[in-house]
């Protein structure tokens, strides 16, 4: 009897988790659509990138940091998996910008200036662009780095931010408008539940602020 009761409890818990996940997905989809209405109505790269980021919230993605061998250029992990960097990579790819290729080529030119956190002695086109510290270095080298502040107005739709989660984990996200058009800008990111549109810009210690618009002066 106790075993059956335990199984019933687990089944109820699993159902509640599924309901919570479904409600959260509905909430983030509504937030993304509301945020889309606040995006400037122009044809700038920033506007297009913001729409591409918001489009990502319609995708079901399971958080999976596994190393995967990729084709090159234009390689991607399975579309239903990924981490925070993959949302950035896929958003830029929607605009024809391949960060896999750009980062790989830059690392070949200047490998010594990139982080050595992983003990590599050469580039790896399968994973280099999927690592936040490498993207930070790349954006800095492309003069896309901006001051890190606690002023909401400094962060524009289409910007990127990096931060540290749980005191040690590097994370990256794309800035989008607040769904209400007021208060702090929101972000689109994958912090474990797939691409979400959330009010978490200043939740974690910021480590970087970037505006990488390669098609604009």
Q: What is the pLDDT of residues 1-52, one digit of tens each?
A: 444 445 444 444 443 333 334 444 557 789 999 999 999 999 999 999 999 9
pLDDT at 91: 98
Region of 82 (left: φ > 0; alpha: ψ -120 to 50; beta: rest) is left
Cβ atoms 100, 125 nearer than 8 A:
yes
What six digits make up the tokens of 149? 């502040």
Helix (H) or strand (E) holding 154: none
Q: What is the pLDDT of residues 184-200, one digit of tens each?
A: 999 999 999 999 999 99
151 pLDDT tier (thresholds 50, 70, 90): very high
d(CA 206, CA 147) in angstroms, rounded, equals 10
The conformation of residue 143, written as its DSSP 8-state character, comes to T
The conformation of residue 38, written as its DSSP 8-state character, comes to T
Helix (H) or strand (E) holding 208: strand 206-210
Residue range 109-129: mean pLDDT, rounded: 95
Helix (H, G, I), strand (E, B) or coil at 188: strand
Q: How far is CA 23 from CA 11, 19, 29, 52, 61, in A?
A: 18, 6, 10, 23, 16
Cβ atoms 132, 84 nearer than 8 A:
yes
In the block, which residue shows the tokens 């810009």? Answer: 201
d(CA 29, CA 49) in angstroms, rounded, equals 17
What six digits make up the tokens of 157? 């739709």
């Amino acid at each position: 009897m106790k075993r059956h009761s335990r199984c019933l409890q687990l089944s109820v818990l699993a159902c509640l988790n599924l309901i919570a996940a479904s409600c959260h997905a509905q909430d983030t989809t509504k937030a993304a659509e509301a945020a889309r209405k606040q995006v400037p109505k122009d044809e700038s790269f920033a506007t297009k990138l913001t729409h591409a980021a918001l489009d990502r919230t319609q995708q079901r993605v399971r958080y999976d940091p596994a190393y995967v061998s990729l084709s090159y250029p234009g390689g991607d992990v399975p579309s239903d998996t990924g981490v925070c960097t993959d949302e950035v990579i896929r958003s830029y790819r929607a605009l024809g910008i391949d960060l896999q290729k750009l980062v790989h080529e830059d690392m070949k030119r200047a490998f010594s200036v990139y982080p050595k956190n992983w003990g590599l002695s050469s580039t790896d086109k399968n994973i280099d662009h999927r690592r936040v510290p490498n993207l930070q270095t790349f954006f800095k080298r492309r003069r896309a780095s901006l001051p890190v502040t606690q002023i909401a107005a400094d962060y524009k739709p289409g910007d990127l931010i990096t931060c540290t989660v749980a005191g040690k984990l590097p994370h990256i996200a794309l800035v989008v408008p607040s769904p209400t058009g007021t208060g702090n800008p929101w972000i689109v990111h994958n912090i474990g539940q797939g691409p979400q549109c959330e009010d978490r810009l200043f939740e974690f210690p910021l480590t970087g602020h970037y505006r990488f618009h390669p098609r604009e002066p």
